[in-house]
Amino acid sequence: MSGGLSGGSEGGRGRTVVTIGVFDGLHLGHQAILARTKARAEGGPCVVMSFDPHPDVVLARGDFRSPPPLTPLGEKRALLKSLGMDRFEVLPFTRELASLEPEAFVDRHLVAPFAPSALVVGDGFALGRGRSGTVERLRTIGETRGFDVEAVPLVMMDGAPVSSTRIRASLGSGRVAEAGRLLGRRYGLAGTVVTGDGRGRELGFPTANLRLHEERLLPADGIYAVLASVAGQEGWHPAAMSIGVRPTFDGQVRTLEVHLLDWSGDLVGRTLAVEFVEWLRPELRFESVAALVAAMAGDVAETRRLLAGAASGPG
């Protein structure tokens, strides 16, 4: 799977610069790599090479389950375009690809299609059989193939490297604001509004029930202050969002429900985008419906307070 991202400088090959990585999340560390790629290209084509499925899925032993991605391929492609990249090449990751010697990988997948002047990677990057294609070895390979290799240092925040693993941990414990700082933007998702059971409306807080467009990592179950955007309409609306199984009603299915503040109208069938701003509270089992309604009113009031000064556009 591959293709151009823009109508820019794809055609030239004189100063093509390639970067390689999974780039899940396209967080601040990845953005530093992409910025160096663009700077090294000096107006020439910038090529991003990635893999699907995630290498961990293919190389894992035993009953390993890869977590859903932070950025599905469609979103990744759009983000790469917004960051000034010209081409996005996705290599099918197989055991055969993983077993290639670094020289063979470079000749087949870098030199033949792109003839790059430079390869930009993250610090600690390696490819090929047994991860033997370290930065040092790639530099040696590049000397005979006309490209040099730049390793971009890790981006540090609060004394630790910015990484996809760290962002997953933040989301997994509901720390969406922290995840947003590491990403350099608010974490979000998009889905189609589907018909629910109407319980939110019965309780006085109508919700839009979301079905995700693409599989992606969800934050921990709980209640969140979010910004929501309705397809076909301008602006972002303050909203409270619930992720969970609705334990007060003995629910078994995980649902995504969004209550848009001060909104009226039917959203079923429309696309709704959501960006997470702040964690409000965990999902709880209440002793009565009245206690749940009181908590929901508190959630809405806190959401209104938190988002009173929030940006009106995507973060």
Task: Identify the CATH number of the domain in which residue 39 sits.
Answer: 3.40.50.620
Is residue 124 helix, strand or coil?
Answer: coil
The DSSP string of 102-120 is HHHHIIIIIIHHH--SEEE
Asked whether residue 175 is assigned to any structural domain, the reply reads no
Contact 100, 108 (CB under 8 A): yes
**Residue 169 falls inside a structural domain:** no
Does residue 315 lie in a domain region? Answer: no
Task: Reduce the DSSP state of residue 42 to 3 states and report it.
Answer: coil
Are 148 and 230 in a shared domain? no
Pick the more confident residue, 60 or 6. Answer: 60
Domain C-terminal end among 161, 196, 220: 161
Query: Three-state DSSP class for 271?
Result: strand
Mean pLDDT of 203-210: 91
Amino acid letter for position 199: R
239 and 276 fall within a common domain = yes
Q: Is the pLDDT of residue 112 over 90?
A: yes
Task: Work out the average pLDDT over 248-277.
Answer: 91
Q: Is 97 inside any structural domain?
A: yes
In a domain, 173, yes or no: no
Residues 210 and 291 in one domain: yes
Give residue-wise pLDDT tens across range 91-101: 999 999 999 99
In terms of domains, do 46 and 85 share one? yes
Q: Pinpoint the alpha helices (H) of the chain.
A: 28-41, 55-59, 73-82, 95-98, 102-105, 112-114, 135-143, 164-172, 176-183, 199-202, 289-306
Do residue 24 and residue 144 come from a single domain?
A: yes
Containing structural domain, residue 137: 2-161
Percent of the chain with pLDDT over 90: 78
Residues 292 and 151 in one domain: no
- 167: in domain: no
Name the domain count of the chain: 2
Same domain, 125 and 256: no
- Mean pLDDT estimate for the chain: 91
**Residue 312 covered by a domain:** no
Are 126 and 203 part of one and the same domain? no
**Do 283 and 197 belong to one domain?**
yes
Q: Are residues 42 and 126 in the same domain?
A: yes
Q: What CATH number does residue 208 fall under? A: 2.40.30.30
Q: Residue 208 — pLDDT band, cuts 50, 70, 90?
A: very high
Same domain assignment for residues 152 and 17: yes
State the DSSP string of 146-176.
Answer: T-EEEEEPPPEETTEE--HHHHHHHHHTT-H
- pTM assigned to the model: 0.91
Is 293 part of any domain? yes
Assess whether pLDDT exceeds 80 at residue 66: no
Cβ neighbours of residue 143 under 8 Å, at least 6 residues apart? none
Q: Say if residue 8 is in the same domain as residue 155.
A: yes
Catalytically active residues, by annotation: 257
Our CA dihedral for 213, 218, 223, 224, rounded to 10 degrees, sits at -80
68-72, 203-207, 272-276: segment of lowest average pLDDT: 203-207
Higher-pLDDT residue of 65 and 49 is 49
Cis peptide before 113 (omega within 30 of 0): no
